[in-house]
Structure formats: C-alpha cells, structure tokens
C-alpha cells in the first residue's frame, strides 16, 4: 500500500493553523505575564532594531506613521507563508513541519530574550508559543493522516474539521485576550493623578495674538496632543505608571541621583512652548509640531548631580531600551531650556508621547534630545557610547536645520483666479526666524508677512498675496534665521542630519 499523503491544501492549512495557534497562545501568555514578551511583537521590534537606516527612512517616507501597522501586516503574511510551507513539506510525515515550528519558536524566544524590558518570567511566553505551535501541528497532522487511513473517512474527517475550527477560534480568542490583558496597566488613573500636579507650574508666557494664520491654511500655533506627530521605534506603546517610575542619573557625576515621580515634581515646575521636529522630516513634510510642555529644568538637575570634567554626552534610555545621546554642551547652556517634561498642553503626556516623563531639548531633532518614557540618564562621552540612531549612521549632534514649508495652496490644488493667498510655516528653533521670502514662477523674491513671535524655540507662520492669471503656477519659499543664515536651495536627503532645500508647490489657477 502507498504511504498516505495529505492533500496539498489541507497540508498548507495545518501549517497555517499551527502558526495561528502559536501566535495566539504566545500573545495570551505575554498578556498574563509581561505584555512586551509577546513573541509576535518581540520579533517585530527585533526587525525594527535590525532594519538599516535607509530602509527605516524609506518606511517612514512611504507609510508615515502607519509604518508599524505595515510591518505587523508584513510579518503576518511572511509567517502565514512559512506555516503553509511547513505544511506542504510535511504531506507524508510531520517531521519537516515540526522542525520548522521549533525553529520559529526558538527565533521568537531569542527576540523576547534580547528585549531590554522583559524579565526571565517573560520567556515563558515564547515557550508556550513554541509548544502550542508544535502541539497543534502534530495533532492536526495525525488527524489528517487518519482521514486518509480510515474507511469510510466520514468520522475522521469530521474530527479534523471540528478540531481545525476549534483551533482557529481558540487562537483568535487567545490573541484578543492577550491584547486586552496587556493593556490592564491602568495608565489612565495614573494620568489623572498627574493632571492634578500640572497647575503648580509657573505659567509659560501667553501665546501672543496673531501667532498663526490658521484662517489662511497654516497649522494652528499649538498642535493639539491628538494631532502632534509621533515617531518612535516602539511597536507597543510602553505603559508605565507615574507611581512605578524612577529615573537614575549616574555616570560621570559627583553625586548619583535617583528620583521617583514624587521627587521629580517636588522640584520647581515650569512651562515652555517648544516646536519639536523629526530629522526624518522631508522638505515640506509633516513631522513638526508645537506644544507647551510642563516639566523640570534638566540643566538644574545636571548641575545638582555635578557633571565631571571630560564628559560630553548625556546618554538617556527609555523603558523599552531605546537610547539617545544629547551633547552636554547644549544641555548646560544657561538659556537652552531643556526639560524633563510631564505635561503637554496642560494635560499629562499621552502614553504615545512618553508618559510619565520625557525629555525635550529646544533646537535639537527628536532623536538626539527628546527621549520618551525616559528611565535612565548617564553622563558619559561620545567616544564611550553610541546611541540607537548614531549606530545606524545618523549625525551625532542633531541641531535642527532652518526650514520653511508652503501649507496653502496644497500641491496640485485648483484655486480661483484673482488674488491668491499663499501661507505656510517656518522654523529655526533656538535661533528664531527673521524673514520668509516667497517667489512665484521663479520671479523675484518677495518678503512675506510673519505671524507674531512666541519665542525663538517655536515655529512661525507666514502669508503673502499674489494676483495670478489662470494657468499653472509654482511657488517656493525660503526662510532666513536670526543668525543671518539664508535657507539653502541645495537639496539634501534626511539621512544623516536632516533635509535641506526649498519647498516648492505646483498649483493651478482656474
Ligand atoms: N523612547 C523613545 N523616545 C523617542 C524616540 C523613540 O524611538 N523611542 N524617537 C525620537 C524621535 S526620532 C522623535 S522625532 C521624537 C518624537 O516625539 P513625538 O513622538 O512625541 O513627536 O521622539 C524621540 N524620542
Ligand atoms: Mo525623529
């Protein structure tokens, strides 16, 4: 008699179900033990950390803030494919599929093991995942072979089908339960408690009237928290409670400091309005936003710890192991105004923006000065330590480049003939914007009207009117900052230290 052979479609289905079961069980175990121990998320995070800068840059450019969703979906497709392949390789005997199941399980285990924020207990999650995948694969394989051997096959076929449905449903429910359990840390209650502290802060100067030209199409001067751009490597947003938070300030210091959240907010609280920008922002891009942050002066804290001679970098680490290095020469400038922030626009930090505590450094791109979920600060040297993005080829110092952007008309817009308002945004944090010039169809540069200035660490809006004849038009802008620097026309890519070039918009007057 021939060796029984499972039909190809059924074999692929077995592999697929085994993958589902492994992911669901692993996610559930992680939800019960440690949310970040989920093998699926850990593999995703490992993929992010191993991704070369150019690919990351491509992902941000192509998918924007949806890049994480795209990664998770991509992984799902790859895993489904591997599962189907494992099944197809195992049409007569289960061994090839079993080997692949163990290999995938070990990979998940490694990804979890190398996460900085997962303890030993968390390793149970990939272990559960591995055994669920292996168990389901072997069991379904046996049932499918039984269908081949049985005569008649009706009862065996029924068992296989029922088992498959039960496994699919169980895997889905486990994944969902894991997701819900993983969110059980009550960040909202902790945020409510922090909200009560924020009014103690010395108020920031009021935003002057006329700080934006929102009516003409620029962003509002302050960005609502929900609209503030978000960039980070965290696949699952760290969920920390203020009560559990601690910051260690150590390294080349006279006195090591250990601060609880209560210790932190006993210090003088101040408000500062700051425009944050991402180095990955392309010319004309959206990764720039402004908020009034509430927090503690970081320089004061460093002076209290006592920076020892020779140190030139403050290396900070987030709860999920991301690292950042900020030049101490910048942080120690008497008027720089870097913060350990706890509030944003009068509210506690949203979880995605670093609750309970983040850094904000005026004038530096986020990757060198704005650590979210900060838990550690080490005074060190650039020679001794290379942070996350520096190891991936980005510039060490990260000063924000003077930039401007046309917001209205939008690219390829159609606008009625006559008087056309052109409006936009410019920024030169910590230096200040002095003028913005605009030119239409390569004509002469004309000076735009600037919105009133809040402070030199924030953006400024501009507007200007043109009388335009019907047809296609092209408008460009360039800012000059208070140092006298005129924004260069020369195009530079965002990698390694920020894009340059003039933003140019094509539109049609009808
Ligand atoms: N923990 C952590 N902090 C981080 C990052 C990160 O990946 N992890 N990304 C940085 C980058 S590149 C930027 S531009 C800012 C963005 O802050 P936002 O998301 O609040 O706008 O956060 C910075 N802080
Ligand atoms: Mo960034």
Last residue of a domain, one of 363, 392, 421: 392
Atom of ligand 1 nearest to the CA of 374: 1
CATH number of the domain where residue 502 is located: 2.60.40.650
Q: Whose CA is nearest to atom 10 of ligand 1?
A: 367
What region does 239 belong to: left with phi over 0, alpha with psi -120 to 50, or beta?
A: beta
pLDDT at 2: 66
Tell me what the pLDDT averaged over the chain comes to.
95
Q: Whose CA is nearest to atom 15 of ligand 1?
A: 366
The full DSSP string for 78-99 is HHHHHHHHHHHTTSS-SHHHHH
CATH number of the domain where residue 314 is located: 3.90.420.10
Encode pLDDT of 203-256 as tens digits: 999 999 999 999 999 999 999 999 999 999 998 899 999 999 999 999 999 999
Q: Which ligand is nearest to the CA of 357?
A: 1
Are residues 108 and 176 located together in one domain of the fold? yes
Residues with CB under 6 A from ligand 1: 228-234, 276, 278, 318, 322, 353, 366-367, 370-373
Q: Which of 44, 231, 354, 387 to mutate to test the pocket of ligand 1 (most atoms within 8 A of CB)?
A: 231
CA 407–ligand 1 middle distance (angstroms): 24
Residue (of 275, 207, 271) closest to 457 by Cα position: 275
Q: Answer yes or no: is 461 within a domain.
A: yes
Residue 340 near residue 349, CB atoms below 8 Å: no
Q: Which of 352, 367, 389 to mutate to test the pocket of ligand 1 (most atoms within 8 A of CB)?
A: 367
Q: Whose CA is nearest to atom 24 of ligand 1?
A: 371
Q: Which of 226, 372, 374 to mutate to test the pocket of ligand 1 (most atoms within 8 A of CB)?
A: 372
The domain tally of the chain equals 3
Encode pLDDT of 251-308 as tens digits: 999 999 999 999 999 999 999 999 999 999 999 999 999 999 999 999 999 999 999 9
Are residues 386 and 414 located together in one domain of the fold? no
Are residues 218 and 305 located together in one domain of the fold? yes
Residue 248 belongs to domain spanning: 192-392
Query: In this model, does residue 177 exceed pLDDT 60?
Result: yes
Query: In this model, does residue 430 exceed pLDDT 80?
Result: yes
Residue (of 329, 272, 271, 342) closest to 302 by Cα position: 329
Q: Whose CA is nearest to atom 19 of ligand 1?
A: 230
Are residues 119 and 60 located together in one domain of the fold? yes
For the entire predicted model, the pTM comes to 0.93
Query: In this model, does residue 19 exceed pLDDT 70?
Result: yes
* CA–CA separation, 279 and 496 (whole Å): 8
239: its two tokens: 């969920």
């Amino acid at each position: 008699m021939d060796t029984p052979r499972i039909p190809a479609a059924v074999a692929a289905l077995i592999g697929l179900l085994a993958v589902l079961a492994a992911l669901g069980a692993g996610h559930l175990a992680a939800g019960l033990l440690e949310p970040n121990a989920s093998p699926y998320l850990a593999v995703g995070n490992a993929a992010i950390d191993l991704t070369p800068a150019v690919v990351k840059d491509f992902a941000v450019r192509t998918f924007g803030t949806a890049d994480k969703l795209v990664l998770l979906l991509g992984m799902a497709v790859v895993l489904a494919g591997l599962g189907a392949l494992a099944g197809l390789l195992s049409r007569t005997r289960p061994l090839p599929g079993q080997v692949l199941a163990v290999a995938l399980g070990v990979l998940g285990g490694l990804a979890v093991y190398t996460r900085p924020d997962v303890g030993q207990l968390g390793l149970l999650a990939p272990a559960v995942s591995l055994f669920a995948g292996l168990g389901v694969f072997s069991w379904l394989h046996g049932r499918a072979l039984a269908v081949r051997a049985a005569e008649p096959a009706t009862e065996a076929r029924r068992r296989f089908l029922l088992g498959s449905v039960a496994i699919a449903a169980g895997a889905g429910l486990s994944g969902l339960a894991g997701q819900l359990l993983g969110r059980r840390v009550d960040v909202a209650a902790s945020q409510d408690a922090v909200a009560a502290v924020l009014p103690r802060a010395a108020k920031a100067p009021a935003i002057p009237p006329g700080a934006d030209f929102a009516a003409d199409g620029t962003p509002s001067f302050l960005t609502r928290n929900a609209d503030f751009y978000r960039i980070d490597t965290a696949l699952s947003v760290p969920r920390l409670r203020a009560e559990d938070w601690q910051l260690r300030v150590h390294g080349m210091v006279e006195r090591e400091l250990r601060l609880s959240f209560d210790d932190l907010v006993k210090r003088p609280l101040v408000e500062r309005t700051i425009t944050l920008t991402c180095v990955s922002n392309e010319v004309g891009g959206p990764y720039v936003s402004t908020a009034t942050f509430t927090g503690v002066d970081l320089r004061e804290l460093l002076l209290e710890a006592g920076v020892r001679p020779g140190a030139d970098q403050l290396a900070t680490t987030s709860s999920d192991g991301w690292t950042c290095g900020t030049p101490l020469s910048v942080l120690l400038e008497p008027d720089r105004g870097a913060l350990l922030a706890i509030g944003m626009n009068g509210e506690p930090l949203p979880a995605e923006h670093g609750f309970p505590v983040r850094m904000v450094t005026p004038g530096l791109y986020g990757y060198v000065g704005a650590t979210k979920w900060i838990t550690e600060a080490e005074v060190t040297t650039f020679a001794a330590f290379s942070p996350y993005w520096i190891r991936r080829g980005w510039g060490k110092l990260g000063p924000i480049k003077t930039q401007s952007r046309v917001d209205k008309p939008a690219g390829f817009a159609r606008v009625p003939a006559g008087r056309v308002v052109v409006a936009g945004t410019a920024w030169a944090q910590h230096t200040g914007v002095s003028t913005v010039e605009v030119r239409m169809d390569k004509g002469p540069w004309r000076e735009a009207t600037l919105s009133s200035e809040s402070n030199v660490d924030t953006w400024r809006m501009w507007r200007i009117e043109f009388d335009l004849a019907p047809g296609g038009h092209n408008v460009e802008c360039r800012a000059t900052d208070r140092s006298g620097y005129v924004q260069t026309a020369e195009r530079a890519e965002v990698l390694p230290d920020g894009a340059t070039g003039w933003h140019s918009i094509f539109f049609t007057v009808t």
